[in-house]
Amino acid sequence: MRGASARYDFAGRVIAITGAAGDLGRATASRLAGDGAALVLLDLAEEPLRAFARELETDGASHLALSCDVTDGDAVDAAVSAAAERFGRIDGLFNSAGYQGAFAPVDTYPLDDFERVLAVNVTGVFLVLRAVSAHMRSAGGGAIVNAASHAGVRGPPNMIAYAASKFAVVGMTQTAARDLAPHGVRVNAVSPALIGPGVMWERQVRLQAATGTHYFDPEPDAAGRAMIAGVPLGRLGTPDEVAQVVAFLLSDASGYITGFNVEITGGI
């Protein structure tokens, strides 16, 4: 049933979210705040982060918003320590900061973009995972969800850096789940595809159409319609449909699930 929505109890829980100013970060933060969580919001984009934090304030949610570049290990460690000091604990993490990169076939893909995608999506996920799990481990437990992608299950055309990075996120999720299981920390991943409306969906349609490759119509609206036609459920997923799964994986309702990658793809 579309629109049905389970709720989980996050009262007294502290959840950190990277990429918190993004579409999936905001949807997840809003949902968790509504379920009683205190939030640590991290993002590189200061102004959108501040604007979103003001919205949460209006709703009375307890939160700490910090500008942080996840590719900078010292900045990540400092932000996570500041959060642990402010709230005394971190119970959950949604590692959502991400960058799609350029869209081009492998033979012309730009190296600088390849390196940037890996820095944000691989090194960034690792640095945050490392800093937060150290706190969780000493506190005796926690739950982590990494944002992977359907591109980390099957590589899409024109996205070699993004595919490499998201396969890496799935691998890091499996290893971290094994490393942290003895310490009561669960680690899972979500792999969405075709979620909209949102920045990534619109950017992907526009830039795939512009690649001139035979997979995509050069006219963006037609390219977008064809992508949606390939989804068995016949529509885009919504950011809240991703947030619901993240909330489940961060909640005690998923207490026996770790090392798993949940595909949220409408059946692709």
Site string for ligand NAD, 146-185 (x = CB under 6 A): -x-x------------------------------------
Q: How far is the CB of 151 from ligand NAD (least distance, A)?
A: 7
The residue with tokens 């449909």 is: 241
Contact 100, 204 (CB under 8 A): yes
- Minimum Å gap between C-beta 2 and ligand NAD is 18
Give 58: exposed, middle or buried? Use CB within 10 Å, 0-12, 13-18, 19+: exposed
Total of residues contacting ligand NAD (CB under 6 A): 29
Q: Which two tokens stand for residue 248?
A: 């489940």
Which residues, numbered 107-146, are part of the site for ligand NAD (CB under 6 A)?
120, 124
| 215: annotated active-site residue | no
Q: Supply the minimum distance, in Å, between the C-beta of residue 96 and ligand NAD.
A: 4
Which tokens sit at 205? 């349609």
Distance in angstroms (rounded) separating the CA atoms of residues 128 and 131: 5
Q: Does 198 bind ligand NAD (CB under 6 A)?
A: yes
Q: How far is the CB of 26 from ligand NAD (least distance, A)?
A: 7
Cβ of 151: how many Cβ atoms within 10 Å? Answer: 22
The only residue of 99, 103, 114, 216 in contact with ligand NAD, by rule CB under 6 A? 99
Residue in 17, 31, 43, 142 binding ligand NAD, rule: CB under 6 A: 43
CA distance 264 to 71: 26
User: On the CB side of 226, how many CA atoms lie within 13 Å of its CA?
Assistant: 15
According to the binding rule CB under 6 A, does residue 266 interact with ligand NAD?
Answer: no
> Binder to ligand NAD among 14, 15, 23, 66 (CB under 6 A)?
23
Q: How far is the CB of 16 from ligand NAD (least distance, A)?
A: 12
In angstroms, rounded to a whole number, what is the distance separating the alpha carbons of residues 87 and 62?
10
Choose among 30, 46, 29, 38: nearest CA to 11. 38
Establish if 22 lies at the interface with ligand NAD (CB under 6 A).
Answer: yes
Of 200, 190, 194, 14, which Cα lies nearest the Cα of 98? 200
What residues line the site for ligand NAD (CB under 6 A)?
Answer: 18-19, 21-25, 43-45, 68-71, 96-99, 120, 124, 147, 149, 192-193, 195, 198-201
